[in-house]
Structure 1
Amino acid sequence: MTAILQKQPCDLRTYIAQGEYAIADAEDAVITTVLGSCVATCLWDPVARIGGMNHFLLPEGPPSRSDVSSFGANAMELLINALIRSGALRGRLRAKVFGGAEMYKGLTNVGNQNGRFVLSYLEREGMPCDGQSLGGVQARRVEFFPAQGKARQKLVEDTHIVEKRPVPEISSDLELF
């Protein structure tokens, strides 16, 4: 997972893609991403005034790939550890979560699984979730202001659900002409 740390106000707007995270403490810093079925977790420490956002693709991966950062548990731990190394206290972290849309109707429910995973993870770790926007059928653009702990989203209007088309029935009959 790519880590982006903003400690100085040089580039105050950071975009993260799938499998990435960023943390910042600059007052004007903004971390952004665009989500479909993926989930982004925004964590912040209101006392240290530092926060970060991750963007993960799947709740879990195969056991042989436990190091991959686009899986939920790994993405969460990487973000939490980076925040702690930068002065946040785990017991003060608060969350806001976004994403988990159903982008491919009838094909997969990974968005729903991602949403359930992140809420379960936060509950298990004792981290309060102050806000959430999970599910639905549209992509989201999320902006997080880490020093303030504020987040906003905008639904992306030009996305459409891709319908799974029924597979034509294959016949075992053979016709010769």
Structure 2
Amino acid sequence: MMDQTEKLVNVIQGEYHISDDPQCVLSTVLGSCAAVCLTDPVARVGGMNHFLLPHRAGKDGEDVRYGAYSMELLINGLLKRGARKNRMIAKLFGGAKMITQLRDIGVSNVAFAKEFLQNEGIPLASQSTGGNAARRIRFWPTDGRVKQFIVPGEVEAVAPVIPPAPRPAHGEITLF
């Protein structure tokens, strides 16, 4: 439960948000998407992104829906607010396999995020990835705390299709 003085900011697909407000709580819901939460505990500033796919080549890749661009915006935004890359700490969430018939985009998102963070020299302090359930994340950007809630999966029951009974014809009916 949130404190009455806290300000909840929803970070939806394809967005990122940075804050140095101790009352700010960043929140998102993830399925196969991934979210990276970054904090500089000395500068007391942090941010969260929420990306749908790892990357895309060319000008089309310059969109926050893609992890490569979203990570650059998040890190650069933190640097502008006084964070230092050598003090940043990362936490990674999401990457679930939500639809079993499709390719596992979640695995690609998580692998991308881990490789990106490693290449940037930013340690991954914790993660909760994979599985087949959605997650709701609450992140306090100034101190790096995270609460995760597993969103119960809804099993969609498919009822068998039963054709309607034929209407009786008017007039004579022959019974066998």
**What is the Cα-based RMSD across aligned positions, in Å?**
1.8
Contact 1:103–1:137 (Cα < 8 Å) also in 2: yes
Distance 1:13 1:112, change over 3 A: same
Aligned partner of 1:84 in structure 2 is 79
Secondary structure of the structure 1 residue equivalent to 2:112: helix
Q: CA deviation at 1:64?
A: 4.1
Secondary structure of the structure 1 residue equivalent to 2:64: coil
Aligned partner of 1:96 in structure 2 is 91
Aligned pairs for 1:112-123 within 5 A: 112-123=107-118
Q: Distance in 1 between matches of 2:129 and 2:30?
A: 10
Q: Distance in 2 between matches of 1:134 and 1:63?
A: 28
Q: Does 2:125 align with 1:130?
A: yes
**Any stretches of 5+ residues in structure 1 without a counterpart?**
1-9, 162-177
Q: Distance in 1 between matches of 2:155 and 2:127?
A: 22
TM-score (ref. length: structure 1):
0.82
How many residues align? The count is 153
Aligned partner of 2:40 in structure 1 is 45
Deviation track 1:44-67 (CA, whole Å, cap 9, x = no partner) reads 001001000000000012434121
Q: Larger Rg: 1 or 2?
A: 2
Contact 1:140–1:154 (Cα < 8 Å) also in 2: yes
AA in 2 matched with 1:45: D
Distance 1:112 1:47, change over 3 A: same
Q: Does 2:148 align with 1:153?
A: yes
Q: Distance in 2 between matches of 1:159 and 1:101?
A: 14
Contact 1:12–1:26 (Cα < 8 Å) also in 2: no
**Any stretches of 5+ residues in structure 2 without a counterpart?**
157-176
The equivalent position to 1:74 in structure 2, one of 69, 89, 107, is 69
Deviation track 1:111-148 (CA, whole Å, cap 9, x = no partner) reads 00001110111111110000000100000000000011
